[in-house]
Amino acid sequence: MTAEVTVATGTGGLGTDMVLNIGPQHPSTHGVLRLRLKLDGERVISAEPIIGYMHRGAEKLFEVRDYRQILVLTNRHDWLSAFSNELGAALAVERLMGIEVPERAVWLRTALAELNRVLNHLMFLGSYPLEIGAITPVFYAFRERETLQAVMEEISGGRMHYMFNRVGGLKEEAPAGWTSRARDAIGLVEKRLPDLDRLIRRNDIFMARTVGVGVLTAAQAAAYGASGPVARASGLDFDLRRDEPYLAYGSLKVPVVVRTAGDCHSRFEVLLDQVYVSLELARQCLDRVDQIKGPVNVRLPKVVKAPEGHTYAWTENPLGINGYYLVSRGEKTPWRLKLRTASFANVQALSTLLPGCLVPDLIAILGSMFFVVGDVDK
């Protein structure tokens, strides 16, 4: 009995590289992202993100929904920044129709957008350490989220999909005393947030896992179109709130949190510091809301029709730049509404970041790229 074995030689080693599918159902891909890895032991040789498991055809659905119904759908592609998403869509329609939004609505929108940003960041500030193996920070983050969500629920009725924007302003006026309750909630979060900060930011093990891991250079970030906290951690100093102000950001001084290292830890730090900044911004907005009298929306005809034309509205969403390219033929539905989502661009960088790292590093990088799968697949 002779055994004849043919093996391949060359860069493929023995041809026995292990192929490992991380996802579509894996605890660290938060959702259904799939990564096809080739492993040499625990070292990643190549990584290919496979997306589309959650494709819901949002852009196609936009074409058969009127402008109020579109807000329901935009709410849902990035479920962690629902308010910012619907805001972007509303801004696009308003721009095309030439609507001027009442000042009170503008400031209220800004405040809510910043609160939404905090909610989004807190989610990642909790889930990221969880992926690294620290099980406690997520509960601290959710305690703060709960506090802010109560405020959001009181004004909009929703905890996640707020549905509070309308073309031309907001759905309705805030309940009496809401602004002071919102300020109280912000104060409470600011008071308790240092717990999360002290628990994890300077933790030696956390540092060992994240410092110098998954370095994305500024040039790479720009090349892949990364934006938001991911790009700012790489030193790409770009923030639409400051560089191309929309809403009331023009009259606010927006501090932009930037790091230069571009590694997982700096991405985490950008997020954490951003929370402090956003809470402060939200408080300033609420103070302004209290000084402005007036309506929060404009009266629109029963059927809203955007005039023929096209426009592009982009906003600094919590995860990065979110853009809506709206093309209208004068119907009550858009002819085309193209989505540019932050997560999609950020996930692209994975295929360059992952090769060469270890499986645990992969988890650390995956968690620090801050994406929402619905936002990737749309």
What is the footprint of another protein within residues 70-99 (CB under 8 A)?
71-73, 75-76
The correct pick among 67, 83, 206, 324 for binding another protein (CB under 8 A) is 206
Residues 289-328 that bind another protein (CB under 8 A): 289-296
Among 36, 38, 68, 338, binds another protein (CB under 8 A): 68
Contact (CB, 8 A) for 40 and 356: no
CB of residue 100 to another protein, shortest distance in Å: 17
Q: How far apart are CA 113 and CA 103, in angstroms?
A: 15
Q: Count of residues for the chain?
A: 378
Q: Is 203 in the site for another protein (CB under 8 A)?
A: yes
Quick one: which of 87, 91, 123, 132 contacts another protein (CB under 8 A)?
132
Of all helices (H) and strands (E), which one includes residue 229?
Answer: helix 228-233
Candidates 194-202, 228-236, 258-266, 277-285; binding stretch for another protein (CB under 8 A):
194-202
Interface pick for another protein out of 24, 235, 355, 360 (rule CB under 8 A): 360
209 binds another protein (CB under 8 A): yes
CB of 290 to another protein, least distance (A): 6
Contact criterion met (CB below 8 Å) for 365 and 353:
yes
Minimum Å gap between C-beta 331 and another protein is 16
Q: Among residues 143 and 340, whose Cβ is nearest to another protein?
A: 143
Q: What is the DSSP letter of 251?
A: G
Q: Which of 59, 79, 158, 280 binds another protein (CB under 8 A)?
A: 158
HSE-up (13 A, CA, CB side) for residue 168: 16
| Number of amino acids touching another protein (CB under 8 A) | 84
Q: Which is nearer to another protein, 161 or 338 (CB)?
A: 161
Nearest distance from residue 206's CB to another protein, in Å?
5
Amino acid in position 378 = K
Q: Determine how many CB atoms are found less than 10 A away from the CB of residue 251.
A: 12
Report the distance separating Cα 131 and Cα 365, nearest Å.
10
What's the CA gap between 195 and 286, in Å, rounded? 25
Mapping DSSP to helix (H, G, I), strand (E, B) and coil, where does residue 336 land? strand
Tokens of 340: 């540019």
Q: Specify the stretch interacting with another protein by CB under 8 A; choose among 111-119, 251-259, 339-347, 356-364.
A: 356-364
Question: Strands 169-170 and 309-317, how do they pair?
Answer: unpaired
Supply the minimum distance, in Å, between the C-beta of residue 153 and another protein: 6
**What b/e sequence results for 255-273 when a residue is b if at least 16 CB atoms lie within 10 Å of its CB, and e otherwise?**
eebbbebbbbbbbbbbbbb
Among 38, 143, 305, 310, binds another protein (CB under 8 A): 143
Return the residue matching tokens 């619907």.
86
Name the minimum Å distance from CB 211 to another protein: 12
Q: Is 256 in the site for another protein (CB under 8 A)?
A: no
